[in-house]
Amino acid sequence: MDSPFKFLEAYGPTDFDEFFGREKETAQLYNAVYASNLTLLYGASGTGKTSLVNCGLRNKFYYTEWLPVFVKRSDNINESLANALSVKLKALEEVDDNPSEINNLVDLLDYLYLAYYKPVYLIFDQFEELYISGSVAEQFEFYQSIKVILDAGLQVKIIFNIREEWIAFLNNFEKVIPTLFDNRLRIERMTNRTIARVILNTLNYHEIQLLEPKETIYAIIENLKDKEGIALTNLQVYLDKLFQKQLQNQKDSSAEKVVFSLSLVQEVGPMKNVLADFLEEQLLLLEEKLKKTRGIKNPKGIPTEILFALVTDDHTKRSLNFKEIKEQLPRSLTISEADISFCLDEFQRIRVLMRE
């Protein structure tokens, strides 16, 4: 039986029926994007900003009301924007034999609007990556592009999704776009009461039986809490761990339903142990697979190094191609791009990463 929980994945457009606890914020974001062509969405890590856009906001629109273009910085945010727009342009080539080759950003956005006849929504996810890894030249080129788009009065909406500790780095951006902070929405961590409602609704949705509901939910919250509250990604990871542990416990039983109980929560213990234990176990299993499946004689440390290559010094995810991953690895490791691809597929299978 597969786990129904998101683990480290964000909620997507098809998950709306199980997207609980952010009804108010979804309505606020929906109103914000109508109030202005530029919206700044910010909050602490783990507050579910990406899910709010990908699932909450996306389901507020009819298909004909918006053309979302999701942009996540890879090597250069300007190139990432161009690549994301080219994907939409290429999709038109399937129905248009001779679409014009457009290099001008304003003309391209206007062309996409007229071709799809939908307002274009440029959604910049994990926007802090521009400041974590981007150069000053890259940043200022991007600022000017956004200014040109806004000044052109196009049917284009722009949403920046950024961790709140990086807000101070937007100072130079504001000098180019003085209205940058005029339409902003801060997403706060959920209260314990809201988290309890999310847990209850989520378990009910997946038809998981809950024994001693009040005591069990309280124990889950206590095991998840840190000094800043509860990160929603940790909630999904923890529920996934409870699910996997209960499946193990029920192997020899005839129970048809998965049951969560206070004793199960006590058995799993605090959140700080859950993810570390999971990663350690999976990395060891992947090393064994590299040895048996890929024929690597000494795979020790290879999966860990690949995973570390995809994390910045600020502990955020970054997108790299095979060549760039290989360049990040210690020279002592001999590994092919096919081996790297194998590891990435495994990371995707266990839902630690998503391949782009």
pLDDT of residue 8: 75
- CB hemisphere CA count around 326 (13 angstroms): 11
Give the domain-ending residue among 137, 159, 187: 187
* Strand (E) or helix (H) holding 204: helix 192-205
pLDDT of residue 233: 83
CB atoms within 10 A of CB 355: 9
pLDDT single digits (tens) 100-146? 567 789 999 999 999 889 999 999 999 999 998 899 999 999 999 99
Both 182 and 140 in a single domain?
yes
Both 173 and 254 in a single domain?
no
pLDDT of residue 148: 96
Whether 10 contacts 232, CB under 8 Å = no
- Coil vs helix vs strand at 161: strand
Which residues of the chain fall short of a pLDDT of 70? 93-101, 252-255, 312-317, 351, 354-356
* Tally of domains in the chain: 3
Residue 274 one-letter amino acid: V
Structure tokens at 74: 């890879």
Helix 232-249 crosses helix 271-293 at what angle (to 10 degrees)? Answer: 70
Residue 317's CATH number: 1.10.10
Residue 165 falls within a domain, yes or no? yes
Burial class (CB in 10 A: 0-12, 13-18, 19+), 135: exposed
Its domain, for residue 43, covers: 22-187
Residue 344 falls within a domain, yes or no? yes
Both 50 and 166 in a single domain?
yes
pLDDT of residue 100: 59
End-to-end CA distance of the chain: 27
- Distance (Å, whole) CA 220 – CA 239: 9
Q: Hunting for tokens 């998981």 — which residue is that?
A: 208
Q: Hunting for tokens 């034999």 — which residue is that?
A: 97
